[in-house]
Amino acid sequence: MTQMTNMTPVAGAPGRDATALRCRGIVKRYGSVVAVDGLDLEVRRGECFGLLGPNGAGKTTTIEILEGLLAPDAGEVEVLGRRWADHAGELRARLGIQLQDTQLSDKLTVAETLRMFRSFYGSGPDVDELLAMVQLESKRDAWVVKLSGGQRQRLSVACALAGRPELLFLDEPTTGLDPQSRRQLWDVLARVRRDGATVLLTTHYMDEAHALCDRVAIVDRGTVIALGTPEALVASLGAEHVVEFAVTPGSALPPGAALAALPGARDVRHENGTVAVTSTAVHQTVPALLDALAAAGAQLSLLTTHSATLEDVFVALTGRHLRDG
């Protein structure tokens, strides 16, 4: 699909350009802690954009600033060509927002909850359509307190869809869900995207970012440290595979220089007794590695290989894992 990325915004017709959201240099401090540190973003219409980063990277603060729920200490935010200060009422009607930690009323039913949210919007799907969108038809008359975690999360997304939003914000939509519930939520989002909505989501699951997002911004310590399609970000490692191994305690490792010189090896990283070698050619790296280990008299306790992921991109950029927080 050709994106009209070069089209200049037309003065006097805000919101008609190809940019759904733009922010420049946003900063948010809590006392001496800088949660967001000069962050820039641009989200195009129709895309699914992911903010990927560990817990505490500033993703939630960033998305709440973009949602107009928090005021930044510095920087500019433009959503659908509008600013929060001037058009909050209009923006509220055009956006769909799902927050990370909302607990909906326990003792309302699913349909009652949706009917209440639907009443706030001048147009949008009716309650039955919303139920169908998130596949909760069978839970229509169940109290919220009786729902599973995945069902609650889908209800929360349905509430965000009640006004048929042009831009949907989702903050950690699948955190804490079991794999099957995550898949179901991904299916819901795929349907939303088919209807043409732009989606901005935060996640600390690299597989989620990979599966859902057209483009991903990797966020760490309040700034964007990498930006691109998931494929381009992985390709930026210069290697498609990661070989990880560990040796039994007491075994000597081959010298670092020997590992770096393995055929196909691009990068060698030690952490917690495990060594990760990024490689462009696993079929050459692994036999050579085994030879080097034999020469050093080392005994393997672990050997795995996997295709490089966004997690590896994050590790390569920061030296830390996404899950480490």
Partner 1 sequence: MASRGGASHPLVELTLARFREFLREPEAVFWVFAFPVIMTCALGIAFRSRGDEPTIVGVAAGDGAAAVIDTLERAGGFTVRSIPPEGVERAIRDGEAPVVVVPGHPPTYRFDEARAESQVARLAVDAALQRAAGRVDAFTAATVPIETVGSRYIDWLVPGLLGMNIMSTGLWGVGFAIVQARTRRLLKRLVATPMSRAHYLASHVLNRLVFLVLEAVVIIGFAWLAFDVPVRGSVALLGGLALAGALAFGGLGLLLASRARTIEAVSGLMNLVMLPMWVLSGVFFASSNFPEAMQPFIQALPLTALNDALRGVMIEGLTAQALAGELAILGAWGAVSFALALRLFRWQ
215-220/223-228 β-pairing: antiparallel
Binding mask 26-55 for partner 1 (x = CB under 8 A): ------------------------------
Task: Give me the least distance between CB of 318 and partner 1, in Å please.
Answer: 30
Nearer to partner 1, 149 or 319 (CB): 149
Alpha-carbon distance of 153 to 268, in angstroms, equals 40
Nearer to partner 1, 20 or 131 (CB): 131
- Tell which positions 67-126 bind partner 1, by CB under 8 A: 67, 69, 89, 92-93, 95, 97, 99, 101-105, 107-108, 112, 115-126
Nearer to partner 1, 143 or 229 (CB): 143
Cα 162 to Cα 136, 251, 284: the distances in Å are 14, 61, 54
Residue 248 as a binder of partner 1 (CB under 8 A): the answer is: no
Task: Give me the least distance between CB of 323 and partner 1, in Å please.
Answer: 24
Residue length, the chain? 325
Nearer to partner 1, 45 or 118 (CB): 118
**Sole binder of partner 1 in the list 127, 157, 200, 247 (CB under 8 A):** 127
74-79/19-30 β-pairing: antiparallel
Binding mask 163-192 for partner 1 (x = CB under 8 A): x-----------------------------
Nearer to partner 1, 97 or 308 (CB): 97
Nearer to partner 1, 99 or 288 (CB): 99
Task: Give me the least distance between CB of 102 and partner 1, in Å please.
Answer: 4
Burial 224-258 (b: 16+ CB within 10 A, else e): bebbeebeebbeebebbbbbebbbeeeeebbeeeb
Alpha-carbon distance of 140 to 145, in angstroms, equals 13
Cβ-contact 315, 321 below 8 angstroms: yes
Residue carrying structure tokens 């989606």:
199
Q: What is the edge-to-edge ordering of all strands in the sheet holding 198-203?
A: 95-98, 167-171, 198-203, 48-52, 215-220, 223-228
Task: Give me the least distance between CB of 15 and partner 1, in Å please.
Answer: 17
Task: Give me the least distance between CB of 71 and partner 1, in Å please.
Answer: 11
Tell me the number of residues near partner 1 by CB under 8 A: 35
N-to-C CA span, the chain: 35
Beta strands in the chain (DSSP E): 19-30, 33-44, 48-52, 74-79, 95-98, 167-171, 198-203, 215-220, 223-228, 241-247, 265-271, 274-279, 300-307
Residues near partner 1 (CB under 8 A) are 67, 69, 89, 92-93, 95, 97, 99, 101-105, 107-108, 112, 115-129, 143, 159, 162-163
